[in-house]
Chain A
Amino acid sequence: MSEMSIAISEKLKSEVKNLNFYYGAVQALKNISLPIERRKVTALIGPSGCGKTTFLRCFNRMHDLYPGNRYEGEIILYPDNINIISTEIDPIEIRMQISMVFQKPNPFPKSIYENVAYGLRVRGINNKQILNERVEKSLRGAALWEEVKDRLHDLAFELSGGQQQRLCIARALATDPRILLFDEPTSALDPTATSKIEELIIELKNEVTIIIVTHNMQQAARVSDSTAFMYLGEIIEFDRTEKIFTAPTKKLTEEYITGRFG
């Protein structure tokens, strides 16, 4: 990991430094430090309850929605050098810049068009031409445009599960985020829709930095550049994905990767 940190020190989009997180009195994340490379896919893997989703949610301050949750440490966003989890930072603004795509597609009960335009309207953009352009760009970015361009005003729920998930990705892309967070984005999808989303993730990293939580180890292997293995709220090992899947250094990682536990 030390070699790696040196090699990538100039290419970071974000850097987690000594992050602790508490659900009330319960400490869910323990002293996590992790570099997040710019325009790369970082995967978080580990058994259920290891803290990977908790960790992901720190990046867009999702935990602020519940009282009693507490962060310690820093998540620095580059190049601005701001600490995402600082109380001085507005979580709403952070969520515009760091968007999340969830396990189950959750489109709004609105048209395809309005789902994508929503974030822009919240930001006060109402110019029809600008909205049209941004909606098309986002839908193209999410590889959905060709399938929906003739039915933009249909209700989003009329789309298939895989299409709905890509719509959610388009919605996330519309506000031009710096980081995209994926929380098990394909666990509710069939294999064909899954592979479309995976292809999309690989394509999207040309534009945006991605962090993905997945239970599917092969998915982490397929889409990510680096992988962090988490266990009991800690990062046990972090390295190039290829290294993690061929020759992990820690015994615990090896046991998990090879399906001996978890």
Chain B
Amino acid sequence: MTVFEKELGELKEKILRMGAVVEAAIRDAVASLVERDSDLARKVIENDHKINALDVEIDEECIRLIAIRQPRARDLRFITTAMKITTDLERMGDLAEDIAERAIELNEEPILKPYIDIPRMTEIARGMVRDALDALVKGDTELAMDVIKRDDEVDMLNVQVFNELLFFMIQDPSTVSRATRITYVSKYIERIADHATNVAEMVIYNIEGKMIRHLTPSQKQ
């Protein structure tokens, strides 16, 4: 194995490590809401700097490799993919932090209703993040395409949550502040799934050299 191949291997490991940290942040942020655990929420907020640091570290490594190695073909695709993926992962980390902030606010007030759809959305979104990175490791286009498809489920759940909360607010204006915050949380998770979709699209670029971003679903096929 050449030095460059070793460096690429280390870069891949760093991305996976960042993905694992982000995924844990999403899990903990939502758990802090569902289990009304504000200490856990504060931990998520405190830990965000780790994600930011990995984002910068990976970017700097990519820039260094471009300058030193002049990567071509699949190496070039991998490094540019890494740079774009980390931006999405970093944004997911920020959204997890936002969820934790809303959780702290919501945990101060009586529970509006049991959280059912939010954990479901979260499970799907987390699975999307995990599988997108898995697809990167395995070079699995089908898995990446599957991630992209799952985004629709999250979008639908988000609409459903919103409609339900709207009904609460119409019926009882005293629920507005809580319902609005939960709407935000739902939107944050929906955004996380969007970023996971971006990651999956870049994974497909990495494997096949095809840019499928901003195409319609039928064009993506």
Return B203 CB to nearest CB of chain A, in Å.
14
Interface segment among A135-143, A198-206, A246-254: the answer is A246-254
B208 touches A247 (CB 8 A): yes
Distance between Cα atoms of A243 and B73 in the complex (Å): 8
**With A246-B209, A247-B208, A247-B209 as contacts: A257 and B72 at CB distance below 8 Å:** yes
Which chain B residues lie closer than 8 Å to A259 at the CB level? 2, 4, 72
B73 touches A247 (CB 8 A): yes
- For chain A, the count of residues having a C-beta within 8 Å of the partner chain is 14
In this complex, which of B70, B72, B75, B208 has the most chain A Cβ atoms within 10 angstroms of its Cβ? B72
B70 touches A245 (CB 8 A): no
Return A27 CB to nearest CB of chain B, in Å.
29
**With A247-B208, A247-B209 as contacts: A258 and B75 at CB distance below 8 Å:** yes
- Cross-chain pair count, CB within 8 angstroms: 33
- For chain B, the count of residues having a C-beta within 8 Å of the partner chain is 13
B72 touches A258 (CB 8 A): yes
**With A246-B77, A247-B77 as contacts: A217 and B72 at CB distance below 8 Å:** yes
Chain A residue nearest in CB terms to B208: A247
Per the 8 Å Cβ criterion, residues 105-155 of B in contact with A are none
Distance between Cα atoms of A96 and B77 in the complex (Å): 43
B209 touches A245 (CB 8 A): no
B70 touches A257 (CB 8 A): no
- Contacts from B to A (Cβ < 8 Å): 2, 4, 70-77, 208-210
Would you mind naming 13 contact pairs between A and B with Cβ atoms under 8 Å apart?
A221-B72, A244-B73, A245-B72, A246-B72, A247-B73, A247-B77, A247-B209, A247-B210, A248-B73, A253-B73, A257-B72, A258-B74, A258-B75
